[in-house]
Chains A and B, each alone.
Chain A
Amino acid sequence: MSEAGTHEGRKRARIVTPDAINEAASRYEIIDTDVHFLPDWDVLRGYMPEPFKSKLTRYPLVGADFSPQYSTGIQGTGQDVLGTARTAEDMLRTMDELHTDMVMLVPGFQRPQSLYHKSWVSVLASAYNDYLADKVLPVSDRIKAEIMINHRDPADGAAEIERVGDHPGFISVYTEYGGNYEPIGTAQHDPIFAAAVERDLAVTIHAGCFWQQMSPIHQGTRTWTELLGIASVGITLASVGAMIMQGLFDKFPGLHVTVKEGGFWWLPEFALRADDFYLSHPGDVSLVERKVEAGEEFLAKLPSEYLFENFRFSSQPMCLPGDAKHFAMLWELCRGEDMLLYSSDWPHATFDPPNWVFENALISEEARVKILAQNARNWFPRLG
């Protein structure tokens, strides 16, 4: 219908089907660095050896009975709020709807990494990777993935990277931080980092393992905002701090670590605080395992230099200040144009479309190109 005038002098309105994604999205290359993929459990079981295939008859629900349903009113774990991608075809269909050119699949199976059964996690990781290599990655070059590993068993984790890491569809290694487990930055995890660096794979650390009874920093939380929104940022800082201060990047200078869902407006505080503390109290650095091994007394650089050189951060959730002036300050202090990799977190309840990139006049055209795709291409060696 047109907007021609009616006989009563009213204009005619049109009933329309708008697209919630900003129309500019179709004009840019968009690489979504955090999309959760959840293969059918019975399909994965087909890739498991016995006795796991027979006994693991359902997706393991680990941790407390606490989920976003109490905060959102949506039943379930919050892992399929906007849909479920179980196959390559599901994923491609969703990508087209979201105007996304390429995705990095992140395992939708987050809770199992909280399990105490190392063998169970290892088997699930291998089954997931084998399914990707067999049925998903060959379907389209637009789909890339992260290798799921059991990082609580570093030797096993490294072995999994060696087993599947030569497949060109994998561009990173997936780990989760949190829970009652020490930060993945400690030296016992070096077999994982060595295997990744050797194959030009980046390493992701993703917020997870945050169920109250299993995570000291989350104990006592009552709300989803505390649990996922706030406490998980604390764990992120601890994990990044362990990586930097325990000499990870002096041992593996070329290692690229991608932090997902860990926030980023805290970067200035971390950088200033870590540098000041380190310069004032550097004496214990020589006692960490890697420095003992190397016979070194100090870090090669300031903590802030590692922060801005060896890390990048997925952008979701982008929590914008209401005052544009404040955004400009944060953007500059956090070096947002270079440090952020666009991510949507689809299909989780904290989904972030790319609209904010287009609708903020303070983000330059060059910055848009970088955030949406170019930073990812520069960051992941295998994307090139």
Chain B
Amino acid sequence: MAEYAVGKVDDVPENGSVAVQAGRHLVAVFRIAGKFYGLHAICPHKGGLLCGGQVLADKLVVRCPWHYWSWRLETGELETDPRQKVRRFEVKVVDDEVVVCT
């Protein structure tokens, strides 16, 4: 496992996301109510960018901006069919620094 320092906590907007190139992984890092989540940034459906998707904070779901496939931030599961998953990455905060684990 490798750890990548993304930046300071405030580099990720609250209730928003950024895309991070962590080695060979493109990771969408979300910040919801002070907690951080990481998903593979590219929707497996047709390649839309999850980092540009609408975040439903109450459901902890991100909706792909192209076709609204909705992915659970905590598990990477597709809301309508949990058998389908997008890769999830652990994201932690160390000394005010956001760290993505790949």
Question: What 0/1 readout, one digit per residue, does chain B (56-79) give for beta carbons within 8 Å of chain A?
Answer: 000000010011100000000000
Q: In this assembly, does B32 line the interface, its C-beta being within 8 Å of a C-beta of chain A?
A: no
Q: In this assembly, does B34 line the interface, its C-beta being within 8 Å of a C-beta of chain A?
A: no
Please give the distance in Å from A372's CB to the nearest CB on chain B. Answer: 16
5 cross-chain CB contacts under 8 A = A10-B4, A16-B20, A20-B47, A74-B68, A359-B47
* Nearest B residue (CB) for A318: B46
Question: What 0/1 readout, one digit per residue, does chain A (174-201) give for beta carbons within 8 Å of chain B?
Answer: 0000000000000000000000000000
Q: Give A58-94 interface residues, CB cut-off 8 Å to B.
A: 72-74, 82
Q: In this assembly, does A130 line the interface, its C-beta being within 8 Å of a C-beta of chain B?
A: no
| Residues from chain B with Cβ under 8 Å of A6 in the complex | 5
Q: In this assembly, does B93 line the interface, its C-beta being within 8 Å of a C-beta of chain A?
A: no
Question: What 0/1 readout, one digit per residue, does chain B (20-53) give for beta carbons within 8 Å of chain A?
Answer: 1111001100000000000001100011110110
- Beyond A3-B23, A10-B99, A349-B67, whether A15 also contacts B46 by CB under 8 A is no
Q: In this assembly, does A273 line the interface, its C-beta being within 8 Å of a C-beta of chain B?
A: no
Q: In this assembly, does B100 line the interface, its C-beta being within 8 Å of a C-beta of chain A?
A: yes
Taking A12-B4, A13-B22 as known contacts, 4 extra A-B pairs with beta carbons closer than 8 A to each other, sorted by chain A number, are: A13-B5, A13-B21, A16-B21, A353-B47
A15/B7 in contact, CB under 8 A: yes
A20/B4 in contact, CB under 8 A: no
Partner of B20, one of A14, A351, A353: A14
| Residues from chain B with Cβ under 8 Å of A22 in the complex | 47
Please report the total number of A residues contacting B with Cβ < 8 Å. Answer: 27
* Nearest A residue (CB) for B99: A10
Please report the total number of B residues contacting A with Cβ < 8 Å. Answer: 30
B3/A73 in contact, CB under 8 A: no
Instruction: State the CA gap A231–B52 with chains docked (Å).
Output: 32
By DSSP majority rule, is chain B's interface helix, strand, loop, or mixed?
strand
Q: In this assembly, does A356 line the interface, its C-beta being within 8 Å of a C-beta of chain B?
A: yes
- Beyond A17-B19, A18-B19, whether A11 also contacts B49 by CB under 8 A is no
Instruction: State the CA gap A72–B4 with chains docked (Å).
Output: 35
* Nearest B residue (CB) for A3: B23
| Residues from chain B with Cβ under 8 Å of A8 in the complex | 5, 94
Q: In this assembly, does B86 line the interface, its C-beta being within 8 Å of a C-beta of chain A?
A: no
Instruction: State the CA gap A9–B42 with chains docked (Å).
Output: 28
Instruction: State the CA gap A355–B68 with chains docked (Å).
Output: 17
Partner of B4, one of A13, A82, A351: A13
Between A8, A10, A14, A356, the greatest number of chain B beta carbons within 10 A of the residue's beta carbon is seen for: A10
Please give the distance in Å from B76's CB to the nearest CB on chain A. Answer: 18
| Residues from chain A with Cβ under 8 Å of B7 in the complex | 15
Q: Give A255-274 interface residues, CB cut-off 8 Å to B.
A: none
Q: In this assembly, does A350 line the interface, its C-beta being within 8 Å of a C-beta of chain B?
A: yes
B46/A352 in contact, CB under 8 A: yes
* Nearest A residue (CB) for B98: A13
* Nearest B residue (CB) for A1: B7
| Residues from chain A with Cβ under 8 Å of B26 in the complex | 16, 18
Question: What 0/1 readout, one digit per residue, does chain A (286-329) give for beta carbons within 8 Å of chain B?
Answer: 00000000000000000000000000000000000000000000
